[in-house]
Structure formats: structure tokens, C-alpha cells
Chains A and B, each alone.
Chain A
Amino acid sequence: DAMVIQNPRYQVTQFGKPVTLSCSQTLNHNVMYWYQQKSSQAPKLLFHYYDKDFNNEADTPDNFQSRRPNTSFCFLDIRSPGLGDAAMYLCATSSPGTGLHMNTEAFFGQGTRLTVV
């Protein structure tokens, strides 16, 4: 089945040690997103790629970076994780229409739960 896959499901990293989370998709969607979700909160968009075009949310800290080497893969890099970065990180994809036809849903991976020790 076509899907969005995140690895690993659980990641433990040390305070200040760079960490990379991975996402792959077999849906061939143009857009890939990274969301941060803290406990009992809604997912918060960090950034998204439309094809190779990177779009950063205004309030995303510089500590968070992303790479999309090809259509299928997207990575989230946290350069110096702090305790406040512990969260569930969700990758999603979509294939939006054009003009007003933005009625395409996002397809989510299972998430990576990041713990910072």
C-alpha cells in the first residue's frame, strides 16, 4: 500500500546532540510537511516543501532544518535539541489541486516520538 513511513518510531537523543528524523513516501505527492506535536496539543506546522521549494513557518526556530533530496524522502534535522523539543514529530504529504481546489487531505506517517535526555 502507498503510504508515509517515518523512522524511527521512537528516538532518544542527548541534550545538544544533533538528531535527524526521516520520512519517506510512496504516494508521489508534491508536498511534504513536518509538524511538531506536544502532549495534548494540536500539530504545529514547522515547514513544508512544495517539490523542491522550501517554506519555513515564521515562528519555526532556527534549530530546526529540513532536507528533501528527492520526491520520496524528507528529513528533519534538529541541530541542538533542547528539553523543550521533546515531542511527537509528524510527517505528512499531500497532492494539492490548483486554484481553489485545495480540498486534498494530508496523509500522515505514524510519527516519531523524540525524547531528549
Chain B
Amino acid sequence: AQSVTQLGSHVSVSEGALVLLRCNYSSSVPPYLFWYVQYPNQGLQLLLKYTSAATLVKGINGFEAEFKKSETSFHLTKPSAHMSDAAEYFCACTGGFKTIFGAGTRLFVKA
């Protein structure tokens, strides 16, 4: 069965610093992996998705993620954090027709 695990329920960075949000997956078949962002009282918005076409995936708002099969990881990064990046981030995979979410990581950005 497919699943994802996010390491760290909270991450705090300074504005301009590197953002690294960790996600590991467990899958018996080629995984389809996603990162979503959720702002307060909003729905979820897709940041990027891994479709096996390329291991480094670029998304919106300057985010990217690298699929590493040897490490079963799909970590999300952004070179320079902005205050507007403060939100909840969910790593997800698909299992059948369902989207399966990790527990989420709340990103805090300090001025």
C-alpha cells in the first residue's frame, strides 16, 4: 500500500533562508507524488507533482522537489523563503483513485 511520511510537523526559517520540507514515501509500485499547500481557511493548492518524466520537479512560487528512489524521498525545497510562504504543506501520493496525505508540515517564516 502507498503512504507518505512527513518529517517534522513544524519548520521555522528566516526570510531569505533555504526551505526544506521532508517527505518519504512507501510504495510497492511506481509512486505518483505531489506537494500541496494550504493557506488558513483555504482549500489545498497543487505546488508540484512527480510524474516520472524527470526526477527534479519544478513547481509554482519557486518551489521544487527531487525524487530520489534510493532514499524513497521527495523533499520540497525553495532557495529563499518569503513571508508569503508561511502555510501548511502536505506531501501526498495516489493510491487507486484516492489521494493519500501525509500529516502536514507547518512552515513559519520569520522576518
A-side residues, CB < 8 A to B, are: 4, 6, 31, 33, 40-43, 45, 48, 50, 55, 88, 90, 92, 94, 96, 100, 102-111, 113
Do residues B102 and A96 form an inter-chain contact, with CB atoms below 8 A?
Answer: no
Q: Given the complex, which residues of A lie within 8 Å of B41, measured CB to CB?
A: 88, 111, 113
Contacts of B30 in A (CB 8 A): 100
Whether B98 and A45, one on each chain, are in contact in the complex, defined by CB atoms closer than 8 angstroms, is yes
- Contact check, B43 vs A110: say whether CB atoms are below 8 A apart: yes
Beyond A42-B103, A102-B94: 15 further Cβ-contacts under 8 Å? A42-B102, A43-B44, A43-B101, A50-B97, A55-B97, A92-B43, A92-B99, A96-B94, A96-B97, A100-B29, A106-B44, A107-B46, A108-B44, A111-B42, A111-B43
- B103 adjacent to A103 (CB under 8 Å): no
Q: Does B34 contact A (CB under 8 A)?
A: yes
Distance of A96 Cα from B94 Cα, bound (Å): 10
> Which chain A residue has the least Cβ–Cβ distance from B52?
A103
Cβ–Cβ contact A90 & B102, under 8 A: no
Q: B7 to chain A: closest CB distance in Å?
A: 14
In the bound complex, CA of A50 to CA of B98 (Å): 11
Q: How far is the CA of A45 from the CA of B41 in the complex (A)?
A: 18
Chain A residue with the shortest CB-CB distance to B90: A42
Contact of A110 with B49 at beta-carbon distance under 8 Å, contacts A41-B103, A48-B97, A48-B98 already known: no
In the assembled complex, which residues on chain B have CB atoms less than 8 Å from the CB atom of A43? 44, 90, 101
Distance A42 CA – B101 CA, assembled complex (angstroms): 6
**Shortest distance between the CB of B30 and any CB in chain A (Å):** 7
Q: Which of B42, B101, B102, B103 contacts A110 (CB 8 A)?
A: B42
Q: Return the contact of B49 from the options A6, A90, A103 (Cβ within 8 A).
A: A103
B12: chain A residues at CB < 8 Å are: none
Query: Smallest CB–CB gap between A26 and chain B, Å?
Result: 15
- Give chain A nearest CB distance to B106 CB in angstroms: 8
Name B99's closest neighbour in chain A (CB-CB).
Answer: A106
Q: List 12 A-B contacts (CB under 8 A).
A: A41-B103, A42-B103, A43-B90, A48-B97, A92-B43, A94-B99, A96-B97, A102-B32, A102-B94, A102-B95, A108-B44, A110-B43
Cα distance A33–B90 in the bound complex, in angstroms? 17
